[in-house]
Amino acid sequence: MRHFRIVLLLALVPFLAAGCGRSGSATPGAGGDDPSAAPALHPTIVFMTDFGVANDAVAICKAVILGIVPDARIMDITHQVTPYSIEEGARFLQGVTPYYPAGTVFLVVVDPGVGTSRKAIVVKSKKGQYFVLPDNGLITPVIDRDGLESAREITNTDWMIQSPISSTFHGRDIFSPVAAHLAAGGDFALVGPEMPQLVRLNPKTAVVTDQGIAGDVIALDDPFGSLITDIPGDEFKKLAYRLGDKVPLLIDKKPVTLPYAKTFMEVPVGESLLYMDSRGRVAIAVNQGNYSKQFGVTPPASVFIPRKGLAIESSPTTRRKSSVPGKT
């Protein structure tokens, strides 16, 4: 028995040594402690589109990726961005990126201008993440938060699909293969020339006045039907409301009074509440119900919350920033 144990230990020594000496990273291009090391296995591509799930578009894009980098790990944000909604896609992208490490490649195709003169680009943030997407403002919120290191126009045809480029499916022909080449460790400089400026999205923002805050319902937290607003929680707190207070507000110009609660169960099942969502925004819900369906509210809809102690008269007419993309 003793002899058997010695033989077993000797047999395990090479495997133990290999395990102890391993110091890799899980992100492409990270290379562990050695910056010159080859990219780690299973590079991550995070994918989002407005293609929906009722057709084969997403599956085709993934097939293109795997044909170039078979060990890619493809993570989906969603493929049900409201069709053509650059602003919604930008908001989802901003919300997801903090949870992924440097070296992650984000592939985002919300592209109402496909086939036009709009540019296809790759952006590298100061966080070290890569974004393969159309130059239509999708990247604006991420760059505002994380900073821009560099941006390049996609012109390298060797990194595109090796067949005629469709005028309506750049997700398959340009964006997916470029994301795959980057994830496989391709040199960012080979993408194409540097971009001197990017199209900027100028989203609507809530406006704070002496009377209160005017904002908008910008989305629904589906499938629950809760209303998501663009009113930051920090700004709402300046109105002097405290948990447990009854908050008067106008939703789509209709007066409503809601309790300000921390959790859904602080109100009876079927009752409405105002709360701070997980991203720090004012939100409105029905406990175990669907506020949007129950009260017929869908975005876009205006929201006005007065300062505590002030009566609601009407929603301010102050105009907020438009969401039309522009150059920056």
Task: Render pLDDT for 222-266 as a digit per residue (tens, 0 to 9).
Answer: 899 999 999 999 999 999 999 999 999 999 999 999 999 999 999
Residues 145 and 76 in one domain: yes
Residues 164 and 287 in one domain: no
Distance CA 32, CA 173 (A): 32
Which of residues 326 and 307 earns the better pLDDT score?
307
User: Any idea what the CATH number is for the domain that residue 227 is in?
Assistant: 2.40.30.90
Residues 225 and 79 in one domain: no
What total number of domains does the chain contain? 2
Distance CA 246, CA 272 (A): 11
Q: Where are the alpha helices (DSSP H) in the chain?
A: 2-20, 57-68, 86-96, 140-146, 170, 176-183, 233-237, 291-295
Task: State percent of the chain over pLDDT 90.
Answer: 78
Residues 55 and 101 in one domain: yes
Domain-embedded: residue 2:
no
Which segment, 7-11, 103-107, 217-221, 308-312, is predicted with the most confidence on average? 103-107
Domain-embedded: residue 71:
yes
Question: Average model confidence (pLDDT) for the chain?
Answer: 87
Q: What is the pLDDT of residue 41?
A: 61
Is residue 10 scored above 50 in pLDDT?
Answer: no
List the one residue out of 97, 237, 106, 109 whose CA is nearest residue 171: 109
Q: What is the pLDDT of residue 2?
A: 47
Average pLDDT, stretch 68-86? 96
**For 194-214, b where at least 16 C-beta lie within 10 A, e where not — what string?**
ebeebbbbbbbebbbeebbbb
Residues 74 and 160 in one domain: yes
* DSSP output for 280-323: SEEEEEETTS-HHHHHT--SSEEEEEEPTTPPP-----PPPPP-
User: Any idea what the CATH number is for the domain that residue 75 is in?
Assistant: 3.40.50.10790
Residues 216 and 275 in one domain: yes
Residues 106 and 224 in one domain: no
Question: Could you say which of 149, 176, 200 is where a domain stops?
Answer: 200
Q: What is the pLDDT of residue 232?
A: 94
What pLDDT, in 10s, does the model give residues 257-299? 999 999 999 999 999 999 999 989 999 999 999 999 999 999 9
Q: What is the pLDDT of residue 42?
A: 79
List the one residue out of 226, 79, 116, 210 whose CA is nearest residue 218: 226
Element (H, E) at 73: strand 73-76
Domain-embedded: residue 87:
yes
Both tokens assigned to 249:
């507000």
Q: What is the pLDDT of residue 316?
A: 52
Question: Could you say which of 136, 165, 200 is where a domain stops?
Answer: 200
Domain-embedded: residue 184:
yes
Q: Is 128 helix (H, G, I), strand (E, B) or coil?
A: coil
Average pLDDT, stretch 3-14? 43
Domain-embedded: residue 88:
yes
Pairing label, strands 148-153, 130-134? unpaired
Residues 137 and 254 in one domain: no
Domain-embedded: residue 322:
no
Distance CA 215, CA 207 (A): 6
What pLDDT, in 10s, does the model give residues 108-161? 999 999 999 999 999 999 999 999 999 999 999 999 999 999 999 999 999 999
143 and 118 Cβ atoms separated by less than 8 Å? no
Residues 212 and 294 in one domain: yes
Domain-embedded: residue 301:
yes
Q: What is the pLDDT of residue 113?
A: 95
Residues 190 and 234 in one domain: no
Task: State percent of the chain over pLDDT 70.
Answer: 83
Average pLDDT, stretch 17-32? 40
Residue 247: which domain range? Answer: 207-306
Q: What is the pLDDT of residue 313?
A: 67
Residues 215 and 194 in one domain: no
Residues 52 and 185 in one domain: yes
Domain-embedded: residue 222:
yes
Q: What is the pLDDT of residue 203?
A: 79
Question: Could you say which of 183, 200, 217 is where a domain stops?
Answer: 200
